[in-house]
Amino acid sequence: MGWYNAANDLTFFKSLPKVELHRHLEGSVRVRTLKEIALEHNVPLPPQTGQLRPLVQIQSGDPLTSGNFLSKFQPLRQFYRSPEVITRVAREAVEDAVSDGIQYLELRFTPVALGRSQNFPLDSVMDWVIESTQEASRKYGITTRLIASVNRHESPELAKEVAGLAADRIDKGIVGLDMAGDEVKFPAQPFAGIFREAKQAGLFITLHAGEWSGAENVREAVEDLHADRIGHGVRVMDDPDVVAMVRERNIPFEVCITSNYQSGVVSTLEEHPFMNMLKAGLNVTLNTDDPEISGIILSDEYYMVCSVLKLSREALKDRIVAAAGAAFLPAAERRELVNSLRDTLLDIF
């Protein structure tokens, strides 16, 4: 059917029903919200408030490196000054997903990042995010599930605490455990037992792996940490044996193309391995990662993958359905989501 021609505009992509599996709450906070929080809580800002955006969002001319990308998160931690702030940013993340046509959202959040500046108890932080996202989801008619995230550079003891609290809240909407952070400097192996126990407790597992380091990290995530999905994972293509393994196991990949470009994983958008992953038979899905930091929405990713990487409309439809099929839901709910999206998309394409 070819890739988009006359229909290749953002309005069309905004009209599509969507599934987002890889979106960080901390990377979704609106800049204008940060300015309002700063005024209310006396958060120190640059001399001119207009200079806040370059601190927390990728700008034209920024170095396209992991260091610069990750640096955007650091100023954010000082803004989480109250329970009301945390509930607000969680609510707004759901609102922004709804405005982009997302019907099913898995929002991952890092309790330690949200709670550290004010020493909020981690269980309280998790409950605030749960309550806020559930309320917003009911209001706007979106299905939202939560993934608790831990960082490689923080202690296994802290990760164990977060994992235990998340497992206690499975019946409240936390469905998974994630690990993010610098995979070059900090190995995953010290966390293997924690993730094994989390899976036994009923949590799904997704891990950032094969983003800034090689395919061996993808293998480790699947074989040693029992990952159900892989966050990013684009370096899997470095090793045909690992490609074969994840293809055989049908491991879904949460691919974030713009994020990979902005963080220096790929040199140009055209060089992104998304299409090669698809041709290799891998189960790839499209996601934003950190929409506010990247200055994008999921519709932008759909537009870009079709216009730059030449993904066909039929293949885009398949990737949306594939994302639904990879959702961290009970089997019956997952089938219902897949069937609903497939029917809606058949009417559009």
> 174-180 and 143-151: which strand pairing?
parallel
At residue 218, what is the residue type?
Answer: V
In angstroms, the CA 138 to CA 144 distance is 9
Q: Which of 211, 220, 292, 301 is catalytic?
A: 211
Strands (E), 257-335: 283-286
Give CA separation, 7 vs 16, 166, 257, 302, 303, in Å.
12, 43, 21, 12, 10
Choose among 79, 99, 111, 89: nearest CA to 30: 89
Would residue 211 show up in a list of annotated catalytic residues for this protein? yes
In angstroms, the CA 189 to CA 179 distance is 12
3-state SS string for 317-340: HHHHHHHHHCCCCCHHHHHHHHHH
Spell out the long-range contacts of 342-345 with Cβ–Cβ below 8 A and sequence spacing 24 or more. Answer: 344/17, 345/16, 345/17, 345/317, 345/320, 345/321
Choose among 88, 171, 104: nearest CA to 144: 104
Tokens of 85: 């702030």
Phi and psi dihedrals of 255, rounded to 5? -90, 135
Q: How many CB atoms lie within 10 A of CB 13?
A: 25
In angstroms, the CA 32 to CA 38 distance is 10
Residues designated as active site: 211
